[in-house]
Chain A
Amino acid sequence: MNTTPDPDQIPEAPIDVEDLRPHVYDGIQEYDKRLPNWWLFTLYGTIVFVVGYWAIMHTMGLASDPGAKVTEQIMAARAAAVKNSPEINDAKLWAMSKDPAVVATGKQIFDTMCASCHRPDLMGMIGPNLRDQQWVFGGAPMVAVKTITEGVLLKGMPAWGPILGQEKVSQAAAYIFSFHTEGEAVEIKPWVPVGVPGLPAPAVPASTAAPGAPPGTAQ
């Protein structure tokens, strides 16, 4: 049997004249069929929802101030996080700096969040060199954790605590201190930022400033 009849051979369904309106516009006829029930139900349903929502949220005033609500949510979350996070100290951080798994995680964090200012090799650029024994604030791991957590806003270092959380801050610090040994001699010295090595003077077209240009000798 032929399963696909020629469309031209399909007889046109007859036009049901009962519902047809008398007027024809440029050959266009119009039915006047009644509205489908499911469609009416949708229309009335949305209207009922709208009235109910406004009555509850606005007339009865149950809509909370969204600003106050989000602040409250975050305060509660921070309080819970403080309660749930373990205590850290220098000894624990030194131990973490010798754990290859922690250091690997820390390296990942450092490479994505810190390397853009401290350079992927930690040799310093906008932010200080973290491999040598010269420190701006002190050479103990907990000092570094505090600096990372609170940032150095005046020098442009953001407070990473609220962004990374205590666990990741500790892991990043552990990675930094994997380049150091406990008890090494340290010197306190401010850092003078250096420009991005290899960047051209302003007049030179940017195309020569290839991303990831090799470190220069700005040290």
Chain B
Amino acid sequence: MSTAASGTKTIIEFDDKVVRQFLVATMVWGIVGMLVGVIIATQLAVWQANFNTSFLTFGRLRPLHTNAVIFAFVGNMVFTGVYYSLQRLCKVRMASDFLSKLHFWGWQLIIVAAAITLPLGLTRGKEYAELIWPINIAVALIWVVFAVNFFWTIAKRNEPTLYVGIWFYIATVITVAMLYIVNHLSIPTSWTHSYPIFGGVQDALVQWWYGHNAVAFFLTTPILGIMYYFLPKAAGRPVYSYRLSIVHFWSLVFLYIWAGPHHLLNTALPVWLQSLGMLFSLMLWAPSWAGMLNGLLTLRGAWHKLRTDPVLKFFAAAVTFYGMATFEGPLMSIKSVNALSHYSDWTVGHVHSGALGWNGFMTAGMVYWLAPRLWNRKLHSTQLANMHFWLGLVGILLYVAAMWMSGITQGLMLSATRESGSILAYPNFLDAVTSTMFLHHIRAGGGLLYLAGFILCGYNLWKTAWGAETVNGTMEVFVAEKRHAMGLGRGFLNAPVLYSLALVAFSIGWAALPATWGGLCIVGILATVMGAVTHKEFSGTAWSDWYEELLANSLQFSLLTALAVATGGIVQIVPTVIMQKAGNMEGVRQIPYTPLELAGRDIYVREGCYNCHSQMIRTLVGDVLRYGDYSKLGESIYDHPYQWGSKRTGPDLARLGSKYPNVWHYNHMLDPRNVSIGSTMPNYPWLFRDKTGVEALVSKIAVQKKLGVPFRETTLSEIQESCAKQAGVIAADLKTAGVETPPDREIVALIAYLQKLGRSEPVKPAPSAPPVVQR
């Protein structure tokens, strides 16, 4: 609450040109990303759609689809919404037109670079973090450009306090930077290749801390900010509840960051981390629904407008899908539900009810609302927009229902047993593939309908904008001369903050410390809660006044947000990273790769095999019966990047080595249907043509050694000799089986790697270090 101060009135013009640019980019990349989605969905149903061509295979196109939809489609959509609403909520033009331009063109250049490199097989091999290191640096730099422009604009604002939409934008800008940088730490081996500095379980944990929060802070928080601006604008109704906004924001950003390990349930990840992942996901249910409530209840008094206004139709459906997906998410994070759902199509359905329902429909609503305002012309056709809505809705429902049925069928079939639970009911993995095949056709059809809707949207936008006069918003603003600023300390040294900090600290202490200290922490928790409740009773409106004051001070607000989002990652990741590797092995240690096997592994990563195959046998009866003894932490200790995977379109490969003869792999990679009738895996003819890049191994092995992997060979001649020897043995074995191949081909290196999978040696248990956290 600022006091009336002296100042001047002036008229400002907003930079809406960059908004228009981002809006057009959203539509273009959206259609491209969805088109690739339809192509890869078709490939899963009809393997011939891989066209025996390296850059068109599923393993290379799926990263293109996910990256395009997340960073190109939703990314541009977020920037559209942020640039439009931020200027108006701050009553100021963007701080720097140059930075806005740099942001726009830099981001588009990054997208083009991604669209070229990913099909070429240039990848880091981690989901949604596939882009190679030079592009990573570009992303980080452009994000900083955005952040500077963003915070500078906030600093220049003519609006004393920050609206709830901006809170969510602030959380996005800070957290995405933190997540992106940590998960992309790698050491280059060439201009196009690098190894992540984390390996095995550490890499898995960092990856899903990032991966889950890409969903949270790239696909959720900025869209919530956009919802808080565009939905009440379109409905012409007040936001339902300011105090719900406060609870919503702080609980969501604090809790979300802890939930990453729910992607690693029933794996070799230490149990305490699995439990944290599950429990924080359950606690996310109510905060997520707070967002849904603030969206849907804002529509009270405006529901009748849905019949005629496509904008509100899209928003209402989007918020409903958000509510559905954020209920389904906690459900799937329950360990026993996850045992069924994980690695199956259910996860794919879940993520698409978020992406198509929440992100896609929010985008469509925003586009239809913005277009007439940015081009000063009535929307070309409301009917087409309505048609888009129904096409999209039917598309999503077909898609999601098909994936639910398919996922549950896969989960049930692959874990079903007979003969007292000692035998798998469906020992052939392909049974689950063929049983769900027709559902994959339906899924592709649903995706196609959804894409058709967006093409209509693009056409509608084009007809509206083409030849229309562009218009930049203007506003008469009151420029105050001086604003009341609160001291930096008052942001933190305040009752609500201190009580919250104490509560979090005592709770972590209770969960992590041995009994005596844990007991003291319980006393601390009770004292904090009682103190806080009593204090609040007696302080009257002091706490809400402090919060209003905080909203007028963006620096303190941003620092508190950063503190809230950093806590979870620190508690989960730091112990795992600093724990000695020896303490992390569970009695076995992976046998390090030979140079040829490493080359083969890099081929495996290049082809994106992890998109369909896991390397993690979970502690579940179905998994152990099918694939062998459950995976131990030590078995992937030298894997940079880790390849545990997240989806089993094909079977797990953690113990594939020695399961089949070399010639089986040879025939299988040439055409999987040679040996697996009904397989939908693509053919890999180029592996039989191209030569293994032995020279590149020198710098690769140097980097691996730097990361702690014990390689014996270091010089080029040593590496060449080792590769030639091992390749010769495999080629000779293939010859006795009747096929001849030159030993320098990639297929030989890949066979060497596949035959190595699952090789480990026993180790003595490490001298027991005190456990960081009790299990």
Which residues of A come within 8 Å of B, CB atoms? 7-8, 10, 12-13, 15, 20-21, 23, 25-36, 39, 42-43, 46-47, 49-50, 53-54, 57-59, 61, 63, 65-67, 69-71, 73-74, 77-78, 80-81, 84-85, 112-113, 115-117, 126, 153, 155-156, 158, 162-168, 192-196, 199, 201-203, 205-207, 209, 211-212, 218
Query: What is the CA–CA distance of A43 and B232 in the complex, to the nearest angstrom?
Result: 25
Closest to A16 in B: B238
A211 touches B301 (CB 8 A): no
B738 touches A194 (CB 8 A): yes
- Do residues B511 and A58 form an inter-chain contact, with CB atoms below 8 A? yes
CB neighbours of B305 from chain A (8 A): 7
B673 within 8 A of A: yes
Most chain A beta-carbon contacts within 10 A, residue among B240, B244, B420: B420
Q: Check B301 against A12 for contact (C-beta < 8 Å).
A: yes
Interface residue B271 (Cβ < 8 Å from any Cβ of A):
yes
Q: Is the CB of B774 within 8 A of A28?
A: no
Establish whether residues B742 and A81, one from each chain, have CB atoms under 8 Å apart when the complex forms. Answer: no
Check A74–B625 contact: CB distance below 8 A.
Answer: yes
Could you say which residues of chain B place their CB within 8 Å of the CB of A27? 233
Tell yes or no: B705 within 8 A of A by CB.
no
The one of B302, B624, B745 in contact with A74, judged by C-beta atoms closer than 8 angstroms, is: B624
Is B272's CB within 8 Å of the partner chain A? yes
11 A-B pairs besides A15-B237, A31-B238 with CB distance below 8 A are A8-B308, A21-B242, A42-B285, A67-B630, A67-B632, A81-B421, A193-B663, A193-B738, A196-B738, A202-B742, A218-B738
Knowing A7-B305, A85-B419, say if A47 contacts B283 (CB, 8 Å): yes
Contact check, B737 vs A126: say whether CB atoms are below 8 A apart: yes
List of A residues within 8 angstroms of B301 by Cβ? 12-13, 15
Q: A63-B775, A74-B624, A199-B667 are in contact. Are A113 and B427 (CB under 8 A)?
A: yes
Question: Which residues of the other chain, B, contact A117 by a CB distance below 8 angstroms?
Answer: 664, 675
Determine whether the beta carbon of A163 is less than 8 Å from that of B241: no
Note all chain B residues with C-beta closer than 8 A to A10. Answer: 304
B737 touches A66 (CB 8 A): no
Are A196 and B304 in contact, CB atoms less than 8 angstroms apart? no
Q: Which stretch in B200-208, B350-358, B395-403, B683-691 binds the other chain?
A: B683-691
A8 to chain B, nearest CB (A): 8
Select from chain B the residue with minimum beta-carbon distance to A36: B293
By the criterion of a CB under 8 Å from any partner CB, how many residues of chain B are at the interface? Answer: 99
Q: Is A209 in contact with B233, judged by CB distance below 8 angstroms?
A: no
CB distance from A87 to the nearest CB of B (A): 15
Of the listed stretches B593-601, B654-662, B695-703, B709-717, name the one at the interface; the rest are far from the partner chain. Answer: B654-662
A62 to B480, CA, bound (A): 62
Does B722 sit within 8 A of A, measured CB to CB? no
B289 within 8 A of A: yes
A58 to B738, Cβ gap below 8 A? no
Contact B659 A165 (CB under 8 A): no
Across the interface, do B89 and A211 meet the contact criterion of CB distance under 8 Å? no
CA distance A122 to B619 in the complex (A): 37
Neighbour of A42 across the interface among B161, B266, B286, CB < 8 A: B286
- Distance in angstroms between the alpha carbons of A88 and B347 in the assembled complex: 44
What CA separation (Å) do A32 and B247 show in the bound complex?
12
> Are A80's CB and B420's CB within 8 A?
yes
User: Within 8 Å of chain A (Cβ to Cβ): is B103?
Assistant: no
Report the minimal beta-carbon distance from B394 to chain A, rounded to whole angstroms.
Answer: 23
B563 within 8 A of A: no
| Whole-angstrom CA separation of A34 from B282 in the bound complex | 23
On whether the beta carbons of B308 and A7 are closer than 8 Å, the reply is yes
Bound Cα distance A27, B85 (Å): 12
Q: Which residues of B contact A58 (CB under 8 A)?
A: 272, 275, 511, 774-775
Q: Verify if B239 is at the interface (C-beta below 8 Å from A).
A: yes
- Please name all residues of chain A whose beta carbon is closer than 8 Å to the beta carbon of B571 when the two chains form the complex: none
Let me know if A211 and B671 touch, CB within 8 A: yes
Chain B residues in 8 Å Cβ range of A57: 275
Cα distance, A89 to B674, chains bound together (Å): 35
Chain A residues, CB < 8 A from B586: 67
Please measure, in the bound complex, the distance between the C-alpha atom of A49 and the C-alpha atom of B279, giving whole angstroms: 8
Residues of the B chain whose Cβ atoms lie less than 8 Å from the Cβ of A50: 279-280, 282-283
Q: In the complex, how many angstroms separate the beta carbon of A128 from the nearest chain B beta carbon?
A: 13
Q: How far is the CB of B621 from chain A (nearest CB, A)?
A: 5
Query: Are A67 and B619 in contact, CB atoms less than 8 angstroms apart?
Result: yes
Q: For residue B274, which residue of chain A has the nearest CB?
A: A66
Q: How far is the CA of A207 from the CA of B671 in the complex (A)?
A: 9
A46-B285, A54-B275 in contact; A39/B293 too (CB < 8 A)?
A: yes
Is A199 within 8 A of B670, CB to CB? yes
| CB-defined contacts of A20 to chain B, threshold 8 Å | 238
- Which chain B residues border A28 with CB–CB below 8 Å? 163, 229, 232-233, 238-239
B741 within 8 A of A: yes
Tell me whether B619 and A33 are in contact (CB under 8 A). no
Name the residue in B52, B163, B280 with the highest tally of chain A Cβ atoms < 10 Å from its Cβ.
B163
Give A11 Cβ to nearest chain B Cβ, in Å: 10
* B424 with A163: CB separation less than 8 A: yes
Q: Given B238, B272, B740, which contacts A30 in the complex, CB threshold below 8 Å?
A: B238
Asked if A164 and B427 make an inter-chain contact with CB atoms under 8 angstroms apart, the answer reads yes
Could you say which of A10, A113, A126, A212 has the most chain B C-beta atoms within 10 Å of its C-beta?
A126
Cβ–Cβ contact B688 & A207, under 8 A: no
Closest 9 CB pairs of A and B: A195-B738, A13-B301, A156-B661, A165-B423, A43-B286, A77-B421, A29-B238, A66-B619, A80-B420
Q: In whole angstroms, how far apart are the Cα atoms of A32 and B159 in the complex?
A: 20
Within 8 A of A (CB), among B405-430: 417-424, 427-428, 430
A207 to chain B, nearest CB (A): 6
B435: A residues at CB distance < 8 A: none
- Those of B237-292 within 8 Å (CB) of chain A: 237-245, 247, 251, 266, 271-272, 275, 279-280, 282-283, 285-287, 289-290
- Determine whether the beta carbon of A206 is less than 8 Å from that of B239: no
State the Cβ distance, A148 to closest chain B Cβ, in Å.
Answer: 13
Chain A contacts of B4 at CB under 8 A? Answer: none
10 contacts between A and B (CB under 8 A): A29-B239, A30-B238, A49-B282, A59-B511, A67-B632, A164-B423, A165-B422, A168-B423, A202-B689, A209-B671
How far is it, in angstroms, between the C-alpha of A179 and the C-alpha of B390 when the chains are bound? 60
Question: Which residues of B lie under 8 Å from residue A126 when comparing CB positions?
Answer: 661, 663-664, 737
User: Is A81 touching B279 in the complex (CB atoms < 8 A)?
Assistant: no
Contact between B518 and A165, CB atoms less than 8 A apart: no
- CB nearest to A158 among chain B residues: B659
Q: Does B736 contact A (CB under 8 A)?
A: yes
Partner of B428, one of A31, A112, A201: A112
Residue of A nearest to B159 (CB): A25
A23 to B300 alpha-carbon distance, docked (Å): 20
What's the Cα separation between A124 and B488 when bound, in Å? 80
Interchain CB contact under 8 A, B423 and A30:
no
Q: Please tell me if B676 contacts chain A, counting CB pairs below 8 Å.
A: yes
Smallest Cβ distance from A180 to chain B, in angstroms?
Answer: 25
Verify B421–A73 contact, CB threshold 8 A: yes
Q: How far is the CB of A219 from chain B (nearest CB, A)?
A: 11
CB distance from A100 to the nearest CB of B (A): 23
Known: A46-B285, A67-B630, A113-B428. A30 touches B242 (CB 8 A): yes
The docked-state distance in angstroms from the alpha carbon of A168 to that of B759 is: 30
Once the chains bind, are A74 and B422 in contact (CB under 8 Å)? yes
A28 to B166, CA, bound (A): 13
A35 lies within 8 A of B419 (CB): no
Interface core residue of A84, A167, A203 (most chain B CB under 10 Å): A203
A25 to B165, CA, bound (A): 10
Bound: A124/B229 CA distance, A = 70
Beta-carbon contact of B674 and A211 below 8 Å:
yes
Evaluate contact between A66 and B266: CB separation under 8 angstroms.
yes
For A153, what are the chain B residues with a Cβ–Cβ distance below 8 Å? 658
